[in-house]
Amino acid sequence: MIHAVWLPLVLPFLAGPAGRRLAVSLPPRQALRLLTLTAAGLAIGSACALALLIVPGATHLHAVAASGHLLAPLASGSPDAVIAVAVTAATLLSWCATLLVRAADRRRRRLRQARGLAARSDGELVVLADDHPDAYALPGRPGRIVVTTGMLRALSAPEREVLLAHERAHLKDRHHLFTAVVDLAGLCHPGLRALREPLAYAVERSADESAATSVGDRRLTARAIGRAALAARTSSTAGRPRPGAALAATAGPVPKRVAALLGDHRLEKAARPLVRRAAAAALLTCLALSAGASLQAADDLHAGIEIAQGESP
């Protein structure tokens, strides 16, 4: 177990570079699903590794050894070192659990407050009297599209349709769940925080493509996204705080998104099949190695417990 258990704690640091390449090489929907799966899998693997590191040190406690019917502790090295590792792992695991609970509660409270604001409308669209150009999708049951009067004035009628189609795609495809999983995974392991940016890009690109399909005009979609972002960033008025879980068409690297909609040749070159396969293979390999190492470490631990119980030679 000593060697295998450390692998799930190291692999998340390798996911970031592959994730950034994957976000621009795979189709957006495939990219966001694979990035989310990888983040969740590696987070679970790292949590399992920490839990497994606690057990050998815990067997030095008389109560634990007695409950497990152990004749001797599981430690194969210096007892002081094993206990120190167990205490550190337990501290980190408790800290991660605390962060997850707090983040989930904070996310829930922010959404509840935002839904109270949007409850004034019976329909899908909520228009706020605010000169600052802004628009975002507010997940919930039902979901709402919130847009300010400033944003409506900044866009033409066809461009407004694009904006609404973009935000509608966020709600329909439940993009907030993907972002929530990756955000929470980043709290479980610092290496997974590098996946937040490529995931956010893939989410916005997926909504961009849905909007382009809905209106049937990629150039119009690119123009609407660009104008909306420019209006929001050059506005001289400060807008209301946007809810933390909201997804907006003006988020992320807008120039890169516009280039992708217009079929920029440099982007097409970056999306060569070889690069695409390599990036996907790197993430899947990290995921497979993490799962395999966790299972191997658990199996080794089980064998060690049987030996300590005197059931195996």
How many residues belong to the chain?
313
This prediction has a pTM of: 0.83
Q: Among 22-31, 141-150, 235-244, 277-286, where is mean pLDDT lowest?
A: 235-244
Structure tokens at 191: 């290496």
User: Between 196-215 and 218-234, two packed helices, what is the crossing angle to 10 degrees?
Assistant: 130
Q: Which residues of 220-250 are buried (b: 16+ CB within 10 A; e: fewer)?
A: bbbbbbbbbbebbeebeeebeebbebbbbbb
Residue 261 has pLDDT above 60, yes or no: yes
Residue 25 has pLDDT above 60, yes or no: yes
Sheet holding 135-138, edge to edge: 125-128, 144-148, 135-138
Query: What pLDDT does residue 160 have?
Result: 95
For 90, list phi and psi in degrees, rounded to 5. Answer: -65, -40
Query: What pLDDT does residue 265 have?
Result: 46
Residues 6+ apart with CB under 8 A from 194: 15, 16, 17, 19, 20
Interatomic CA distance for residues 231 and 200, integer angstroms: 21
Interatomic CA distance for residues 45 and 283, integer angstroms: 14
List pLDDT tens digits, range 168-223: 999 999 999 999 999 999 999 999 999 999 999 999 999 999 999 999 999 999 99
Instruction: Print the SS3 string covering 136-190.
Output: EEECCCCCEEEEEHHHHHHCCHHHHHHHHHHHHHHHHCCHHHHHHHHHHHHHHCH
Residue 79 has pLDDT above 90, yes or no: no
Please give the average per-residue pLDDT across 257-284, as a whole number.
72
Q: Classify 76 as helix, strand or coil.
A: coil
Residue 274 has pLDDT above 50, yes or no: yes
